[in-house]
C-alpha cells in the first residue's frame, strides 16, 4: 500500500517505461555508469550533435525526457536554448562546478517552468547523477500531464468551435455554446488554482498541526505559574484586606475593637509577605510576556496566507521560528545564533519559516537519536552574500548525520528514516519545493556520526519571474 502511494507521488525512473536521457558532456560514460540500469542514455559531445540526436528521436516518434548540459562546454546555455526550442518539455539538469547563472537559464525556459530545473555540481556526489535524473524525468512527466490537460482543453474548445460552424444560422445558440466552453475553461482554471492553494494550505496546516502539541505545552507552563501566583495574591488580599482597611481608617491608633491585633500582625509579617508578593507579581508579568511572545511568533508564522511575496527580515523570521519550535528542541539541544546583517528579502516569509522550522526540528531529531544522549548544539547562521545578491541561512547540528546511501533520497517525498509518528517524510520535500519556488537552493553536507548542515540560499530580490 505504502509503496504504491510513493510511486504515485514520485514518478521515478522505474515507474514508467525507461526514459531517454541525453548527456551533453565529455564524460558520457560516467553518466551511463549510473543511469544505464534505468534509462536509455544518449551521449553528445557537441551542440550540433545533440541537436541531431533530439531531431532523430522526435522524427522516430520518441521523446527525450531529460538532458544534462555541461555549462563549461562550448555554447552550453546556447545549446540548451536550441534543444528546448526543439522540445520545450525536456527536463533540464545544468552541470557546473560553480553557481549556475540563474537568470540566464531561467530566461531560456518557459515562464511557468522557469525555476523547474536541476543543478548537478562537480565533483559529483555519490548518487547525485541518478537523483538529478530522477528529478528531471519527474518534471517531464509533470509537464506532460499538464500538456495533456491543456491539449484536452484545446480539443474541447475545438469541438465548441466546430459546433459554431455547424450551427451557423442559430447565432444565439452558438454564442451560448461558446460562452459555455469559455466558462468551462474558466472553471477549469479556477479549479486548478484552488487545488494548488488547497495543497499549500494543507502543507501549512501540517506544519502548524505537528507543532501544536509543543506550542500548547510551552503556553501551559507560564499559564501554570501565572495561575499559582495569582491565586497566592488573591489569598493574601482576602486575608489582609480587613487589616489594611483598619490601618487606613484608624490612622495608626489600631483600637482592638476595629481589628487592631490583626493589623499589628500584618505589620509584623509584612517584610516576608512583601518579598513573596513582589516575586509573585514579577513571575506573573514574566509569564504573561512569555505567552505574548509565543502568540506573537505564531501570528508571524501564519502569515503565509499572503498571496504575494513581500520584503521580510529573515533574522526576525529565525527568532519567530525558534519561538514556535522551542518545545521540539529544548530538551535535546542548545541553539547558537550567529546572525549577520541582512537586507530585506523578497519572499513568502511564512513559507520560509516553515522551511526553517522543518530544518530545526530535523536537527533536534538527529541529535536526539545519538547514543549516549547528551545535550547537542544547533548552530544557526545567517549572512548576506552581497556579490551574488543572496542571503544564506545555515542550520547545523551535531546529530547522527545522514548515511551516504540515503543522501540522494533526502528530498524525496515520503522518504523518512524516522520512527512512525515522528515524521511523514514530507518535511524536506516541501522545504525543497518552497525554496525552489523562491529560485533558491537547499543543499546539505553531512558526516555520519558528526552532524549535518543544511544551507538555504535565497536571492535577495526574490524569484526571477517576479522581477520581470
Chain residues binding another protein by CB under 8 A are 212-213, 216-229, 231-232, 235-236, 276, 279-280, 283, 286-287, 330-331, 375
E strand or H helix that includes residue 334: strand 333-339
Distance of alpha carbon 70 from alpha carbon 61, whole angstroms: 26
Considering the complex, what minimum distance in angstroms separates the CB of residue 287 from another protein? 7
Distance of alpha carbon 279 from alpha carbon 291, whole angstroms: 18
Closest to 370 in 3D by CA, of 451, 257, 311, 432: 451
Considering the complex, what minimum distance in angstroms separates the CB of residue 396 from another protein? 21
Residue 19: how many CA atoms within 13 Å on its side-chain side?
Answer: 26
What contacts 70, CB < 8 A, 6 or more positions away? 24, 25, 26, 76, 95, 96
Considering the complex, what minimum distance in angstroms separates the CB of residue 454 from another protein? 25
- Smaller CB separation from another protein, 278 or 338: 278
- Smaller CB separation from another protein, 144 or 244: 244
Considering the complex, what minimum distance in angstroms separates the CB of residue 372 from another protein? 12
Considering the complex, what minimum distance in angstroms separates the CB of residue 135 from another protein? 36
**Cα torsion at 428, 429, 433, 439 (round to 10°)?**
50
Distance of alpha carbon 252 from alpha carbon 388, whole angstroms: 76
- Smaller CB separation from another protein, 330 or 407: 330
- Smaller CB separation from another protein, 229 or 439: 229
Considering the complex, what minimum distance in angstroms separates the CB of residue 365 from another protein? 16
Distance of alpha carbon 284 from alpha carbon 226, whole angstroms: 5
- Smaller CB separation from another protein, 225 or 444: 225
- Smaller CB separation from another protein, 185 or 277: 277
What contacts 331, CB < 8 A, 6 or more positions away? none
Considering the complex, what minimum distance in angstroms separates the CB of residue 275 from another protein? 10
Please give the order of strands across the beta sheet that includes 333-339: 333-339, 376-385, 390-397, 451-459, 441-447
- Smaller CB separation from another protein, 44 or 226: 226
Distance of alpha carbon 175 from alpha carbon 178, whole angstroms: 5
Amino acid at each position: 500500500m505504502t509503496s504504491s502511494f510513493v510511486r504515485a507521488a514520485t514518478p521515478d525512473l522505474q515507474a514508467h517505461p525507461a526514459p531517454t536521457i541525453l548527456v551533453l558532456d565529455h564524460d558520457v560514460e560516467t553518466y551511463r555508469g549510473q543511469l544505464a540500469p534505468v534509462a536509455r542514455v544518449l551521449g553528445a559531445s557537441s551542440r550540433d550533435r545533440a541537436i541531431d540526436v533530439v531531431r532523430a528521436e522526435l522524427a522516430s516518434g520518441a521523446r527525450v525526457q531529460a538532458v544534462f548540459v555541461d555549462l563549461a562546454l562550448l555554447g552550453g546555455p546556447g545549446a540548451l536554448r536550441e534543444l528546448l526550442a526543439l522540445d520545450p518539455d525536456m527536463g533540464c539538469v545544468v552541470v557546473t562546478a560553480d553557481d549556475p547563472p540563474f537568470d540566464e537559464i531561467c530566461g531560456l525556459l518557459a515562464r511557468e517552468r522557469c525555476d523547474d530545473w536541476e543543478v548537478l555540481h562537480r565533483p559529483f556526489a555519490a548518487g547525485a547523477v541518478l537523483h538529478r535524473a530522477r528529478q528531471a524525468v519527474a518534471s517531464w512527466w509533470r509537464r506532460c500531464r499538464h500538456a495533456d490537460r491543456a491539449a484536452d482543453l484545446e480539443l474541447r474548445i475545438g469541438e465548441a468551435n466546430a459546433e459554431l460552424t455547424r450551427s451557423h444560422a442559430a447565432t444565439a445558440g452558438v454564442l451560448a455554446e461558446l460562452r459555455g466552453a469559455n466558462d468551462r475553461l474558466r472553471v477549469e482554471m479556477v479549479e486548478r488554482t484552488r487545488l494548488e492553494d488547497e495543497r499549500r494550505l494543507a502543507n501549512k496546516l501540517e506544519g502548524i498541526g505537528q507543532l501544536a502539541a509543543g506550542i500548547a505545552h510551552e503556553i501551559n507552563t507560564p499559564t501554570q505559574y501565572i495561575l499559582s501566583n495569582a491565586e497566592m495574591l488573591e489569598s493574601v488580599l482576602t486575608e489582609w484586606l480587613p487589616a489594611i482597611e483598619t490601618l487606613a481608617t484608624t490612622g495608626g491608633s489600631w483600637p482592638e475593637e476595629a481589628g487592631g491585633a490583626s493589623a499589628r500582625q500584618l505589620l509584623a509579617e509584612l517584610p516576608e509577605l512583601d518579598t513573596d508578593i513582589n516575586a509573585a507579581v514579577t513571575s506573573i508579568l514574566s509569564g504573561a510576556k512569555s505567552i505574548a511572545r509565543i502568540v506573537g511568533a505564531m501570528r508571524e508564522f501564519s502569515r503565509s496566507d499572503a498571496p504575494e511575496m513581500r520584503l521580510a527580515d529573515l533574522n526576525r523570521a529565525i527568532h519567530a521560528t525558534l519561538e514556535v519550535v522551542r518545545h521540539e528542541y529544548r530538551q535535546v539541544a542548545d541553539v547558537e545564533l550567529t546572525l549577520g546583517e541582512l537586507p530585506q528579502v523578497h519572499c513568502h516569509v511564512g513559507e520560509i519559516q516553515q522551511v526553517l522550522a522543518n530544518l530545526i526540528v530535523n536537527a533536534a531529531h538527529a541529535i536526539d537519536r545519538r547514543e549516549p544522549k547528551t545535550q547537542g548544539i544547533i548552530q544557526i547562521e545567517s549572512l548576506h552574500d552581497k556579490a551574488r545578491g543572496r542571503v544564506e541561512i545555515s542550520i547545523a547540528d551535531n546529530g547522527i548525520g545522514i548515511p551516504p546511501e540515503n543522501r540522494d533520497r533526502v528530498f524525496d517525498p515520503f522518504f523518512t528514516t524516522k520512527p512512525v509518528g515522528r515524521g511523514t517524510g514530507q518535511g524536506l520535500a516541501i522545504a525543497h519545493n518552497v525554496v525552489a519556488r523562491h529560485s533558491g537552493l537547499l543543499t546539505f553536507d553531512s558526516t555520519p556520526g558528526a552532524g549535518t548542515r543544511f544551507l538555504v540560499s535565497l536571492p535577495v530580490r526574490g524569484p526571477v519571474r517576479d522581477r520581470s
